[in-house]
Amino acid sequence: MKIVLQRVKQASVTIDDTVSGAIKRGILILLGIHRDDTKEQADFLVDKCLELRIFPDKEGKMNHSLLDIEGAVLIVSQFTLYGDCKKGRRPSYTHAAPPQKGEELYDYFVERMRLKGIPVETGIFGAMMQVELCNDGPVTILLEK
């Protein structure tokens, strides 16, 4: 799994002119799923995302996690994170999970995040989406497991 995690002041995802999910302060997770990924990897990354100390304390140091600030999460599936651009000009997506497996692990990741008791919003797996965000910092972290 690959994650692009962004600390945001706000973020939303729109599908066909309808907002599918929106959050205020928290994190936006762009989630790419590899064809060989497992639920164990998802569990590890859920905990990592929630516990990363990327929010400022009173002195402005990044000492607080999403759990500490009681923030929210917006999760958007993004198979293009597995785009291989080594050859030619068109990315190859052969390393991305096939749709059925990708959706299963995406749903699992979302459910595991919700079980942690934080507000979770999502896009729709496989849909064409427009993502808007106000990156706070900017803080952008790449995670892979």
Task: Assess contact for 73 and 121: CB atoms under 8 A.
Answer: yes
User: Hey, where are the domains in the chain?
Assistant: 2-144
* Number of residues assigned to the chain: 145
pTM recorded for the entire structure:
0.96
Q: How far is CA 39 from the centre of its chain?
A: 16
Residues marked active site are found at 78-80
Query: Looking at the domain that runs over 2-144, which CATH code has it been given?
Result: 3.50.80.10
Among 35, 49, 48, 47, smallest CA distance to 1 is for 35
Average pLDDT of the residues in 54-64: 97
What does the pLDDT look like over 8-51, one tens digit per residue? 999 999 999 999 999 999 999 999 999 999 999 999 999 999 99
